[in-house]
Amino acid sequence: MKHDPKNKRQFSRRDFVKTTTVGVSAAGLAGLGIPRAEIRERPPHWDQQADVVVVGAGASGLPAAIEASEHGASVILLDANFDVGGHAILSEGNVALGGGTSRQKKYNIEDSPDILFRDLTDWSVVEPNGFPDYRYNDKEIIRAFADNSAPTYEWLVAHGVVFVEKAPDRSGGTSDGNSAPRENHAAPMAWPRMQTGKPVDPAVAATESSGVGLIRPLEAAARKAGVQVLLKHRMSSIVRQEPSAGRVLGVKATSEGETVHIRAQKGVVITTGGSSSNVNFRRIFDTRLTEEYNGVAGEPYSVQDASGELAAIAIGASLWGAYNNVGEFGLRLTKAGRIGCQYGYRNLEFQPGSPVFHLARARGLFVRDYQNVILVNQLGLRFYDETQEQYTANNYNALRPYTQGSYLNAEIIKYRPTSFLDAALAGTGDAVNGGGPIWAIFDANAAKREQWTVEPPYVDIAEGYFFSENSMAALATAIVNKHQRKPMPGGTLEGTVARYNSFVDDGKDAEFGKPAPKYKIDTPPFYAAWATPVVHDTRAGLRINAKCQVVDFFGDVIPGLYCAGESAGGFSFHGLARCTVQGRIAGKNAANESPDT
């Protein structure tokens, strides 16, 4: 059935008599509000209709919509944001598709669906901190990914994505599998980037990698395929025949204050991008991740508020693969790479000119060398060697020699049990979860060495993410931020800095073993810059099967409901490849459903 936006026809009596809408209330994107479960009355009428309704126009939603349309379905694709792309448009565009792509073959790289499957289900791969990358992946879901990985590479190329012309490598990869290089890099070409508002220099447009090079061609392909894209439409609930029984019939959304009920004749595909921005939801998995971890990667452009998961759970859907959102590997959590601003993900700098700079408020100061700062907790105490890196992840050739599935792989790992991030999140000895804010402390000489401009638009003074004073005691007193639970004692910070300066004299960090501390902090003005860890991707979500159908708490498929990408569970893989592959699977299968009349 072709979509007619003006069509508000009355549907069958069964739709109205039996339908109950169960879902979540709307929350503003800019305000980062969190949805709350609610039970609503059945829709009075359907405002719009299509065969397939895809919710979320990011890395999984766009492929889902295109596939559904190319398999003969009429498609409505809605997104809460003012533009498409979600996290994906901000991403670095590294797409880990392998299993025997034409690009791998061109460069004589041996790979196959079986090699990829065995890589991503290899129980024996363990990170130095003891956490396994792949052990808890759901084999049914991984098999579907492995079989569809190479075809998705070819499909992306056929739909206009230009990959940088070079052999697949491991650059930007986390948990891609050990056996073969699989990272392909989407070239930004002439598309303006969301983080700058401008295209990259034409000289590098075909050689660099950026998410805009994945998303804009897919957006164009979706529009060409006849997909109706509804921006600023936020799904608030899923409509099912009975609260937890029967088919999914459509969704309820809000658009600029108006309620819109959208009928899906064949299926609804949830591609809302995960739950990392929702404090209560992410704490189901990791109780430490309290409110102060408020600079989630992707925000403030793209907010993962768990609205897809909550709406699906409200009609009976189950969660899946919880370990993957707890396992300490890869980019689940990252060390702040940019300091002095709320949104400190190291690879995402919002610049003046970006359509979201007014929300980001500052670019942040990129830390090239952690010898230039010390990090202290809210009590003004150091807690770890600042130069330590974050969680690691398996990738091509990370283990050498490597034999798939062999316990011998674990023998060559050099175990390092503790980590910087765990120390930062450990807290300060009080009874409250979460470690509280982490502050980078440095002096005027460090700012010079790093060539930092310690004023707006680089730092966010107005909202309390950056402070400067001429003494350590005054600096500690100046720190006022809503997440600083108690004032930092000036004497403690003075003592911490004096002790650190003595370590520089001695050439040895007697407290935390920072290798040869290099620089004293002794030249005013002194600075305190927000450097709290950043929550990144979501790796547990709704239970799906190989067809990306959503499964309920009893193990039964919820008819007419699909999910793909970061909102789906069972797969610890980071990023775009999983999303594009699953989006295609979900879109195709939704289009092939028999219409509900």
Ligand X SMILES: Cc1cc2nc3c(=O)[nH]c(=O)nc-3n(C[C@H](O)[C@H](O)[C@H](O)COP(=O)(O)OP(=O)(O)OC[C@H]3O[C@@H](n4cnc5c(N)ncnc54)[C@H](O)[C@@H]3O)c2cc1C
Q: Which residues bind ligand X (CB under 6 A)?
A: 55-61, 78-81, 85-88, 90-95, 172, 234-235, 271-274, 297-298, 302, 307-308, 345, 347-348, 537, 565-567, 574-577, 579
The token duo for 467 is: 């402070």
Residue 513 CB, nearest approach to ligand X (Å): 31
Q: How far is the CB of 469 from ligand X (least distance, A)?
A: 32
Nearer to ligand X, 73 or 579 (CB): 579
With tokens 């980062």, the residue in question is: 32
Residues in Cβ contact with 96 at an 8 Å cutoff, skipping those fewer than 6 apart: 173, 176, 182, 183, 184, 573, 575, 576, 577
Question: 174 or 409: whose CB is closer to ligand X?
Answer: 174
213: left (phi over 0), alpha (psi -120 to 50) or beta: alpha
Closest CB to ligand X among 83 and 511?
A: 83
- Minimum distance of ligand X from residue 393's CB (angstroms): 12
Residue closer to ligand X (CB basis): 87 or 103: 87
* Shortest separation between residue 77's beta carbon and ligand X, angstroms: 9
Q: Least distance to ligand X from the beta carbon of 194, Å?
A: 10
Residue 172 vs 570, nearer CB to ligand X: 172
| Residues 6 or more apart whose Cβ sits within 8 Å of residue 115 | 99, 177, 179, 180, 404
The closest of 101, 67, 70, 64 to 86, measured between CA atoms, is 64
- What is the closest distance, in whole angstroms, from the C-beta atom of residue 142 to ligand X in the complex? 16
CA distance 308 to 86: 14
- Measured from the CB atom, the residue of 228 and 567 that comes closer to ligand X is 567
Count the neighbouring beta carbons within 10 Å of the beta carbon of residue 72.
Answer: 10
Of 473, 596, 577, 587, give the one whose Cα is nearest residue 526: 473
* Sheet strands (E) in 477-547: 526-530, 534-535, 541-542
Nearer to ligand X, 271 or 390 (CB): 271
SS (H, E, C) 317-331: ECEECHHHHCCCCCC
Please, what is the minimum distance in Å from the beta carbon of residue 119 to ligand X? 16
Nearest to 583, CA basis, from 277, 192, 215, 174: 215
Using CB positions, name the residue nearest to ligand X: 58
Measured at the CA of 261, the angle between CA 562 and CA 594, to 5 degrees, comes to 40
Kindly state the tokens that stand for 143: 């098999």
Choose between 80 and 393: whose C-beta lies nearer to ligand X.
Answer: 80
